[in-house]
A = this chain, B = another copy of it.
Amino acid sequence: MHVTSLRFTSETTSDGVSERLFTLGDITGVFWSPAEAAGRRPLVLLGHGGGGGHKKAPGVVARARRYAADCGFAVAAIDAPGFGDRPKTERDEHFIAGIRAQAAAGEPVLPQVARYNAVIAAQAVPEWRATLDALQETVGAIGVIGGIGDDGPVGYWGVSLGGAIGVPLVAAEPRITAAVFGLVGQETLAEAAAQVSVPVQFLLQWDDELVPRDAGLALFGAFGSGEKTLHANPGRHGEVPAFELEDAERFFTRHLRRMASA
């Protein structure tokens, strides 16, 4: 992975935010930054959700543009293996068919989904780390984020599949110093959560039809972080209220800007 270099394949700018598509070997990604590109700035990594999610899903793009425009952050998203511009493998098709069959039979799909997400995460975690290496080298070299070898502040935001990938990623990656997770439970994630020590904001939907409330609460309890806050709201899996967008923005501003100015 490390011998492959990051290639920007397109660049567009609108409303003060520049958006660059990139590839890194098989990985397909997007990098957003304020169009006024000069100056070092924190980087936030965005993990998309499952079930049709991808690096340019509307929620990902809206969040990325807000972080760039309102907070001055650089932002990156990559397609998880089998999502967006990346082909599904036989393994993916097999898993998905199994989950659909269980759902059709009225059986709980969470254990299956959690297992599938864990398999994706095992591949996605090293991909994210390689992407972070490449972004810090490539984009860092032109001054948009911290330069080579720089320990500039990096955050991670991801819920649902993005949480299932993010928890082991943040456990493994010391460059990430603040994270927002959510909409996942303790299945397959409790051990990694215990290794997370950075500030965490954790989103839980009180009436989540996919993740049982107790599983989400148990995962929140499992994080090793000294500073962690659970934000629980009424509603189903897909109904995180809009004001949490702003709350996460302030969380990253508080933690990443503080580090940037330290």
Q: Which residues of A contact B (CB under 8 A)?
A: 204, 206, 217, 220-221, 226-234, 241, 243, 247, 250, 254
Contact = CB atoms under 8 A, between A and B. Distances in A.
B231 A230 contact: yes
Given A206-B221, A228-B234, 12 more contacts: A206-B220, A206-B230, A217-B217, A220-B232, A228-B233, A229-B232, A229-B233, A229-B241, A230-B230, A232-B232, A247-B247, A250-B250
Copy tally for this chain in the complex stands at: 2
Contacts of A233: 227-230
A226 B233 CA distance: 9
Contact of A254 (B204, B221, B226, B243): B243
A231 B233 CA distance: 9
A232 B230 contact: yes
A241 B227 contact: yes
Contacts of A231: 229-231
Nearest to A204: B230
Contacts of A221: 206
B243 A234 contact: no
A226 B217 contact: no
Contacts of A254: 243
9 contacts: A204-B230, A206-B220, A217-B217, A226-B234, A227-B233, A229-B232, A229-B241, A231-B231, A250-B250
Contacts of A234: 226-228
A232 B223 CA distance: 13
A56 B125 CA distance: 51
A247 B243 CA distance: 12
Contacts of A243: 229, 254
A178 B100 CA distance: 43
Nearest to A232: B230
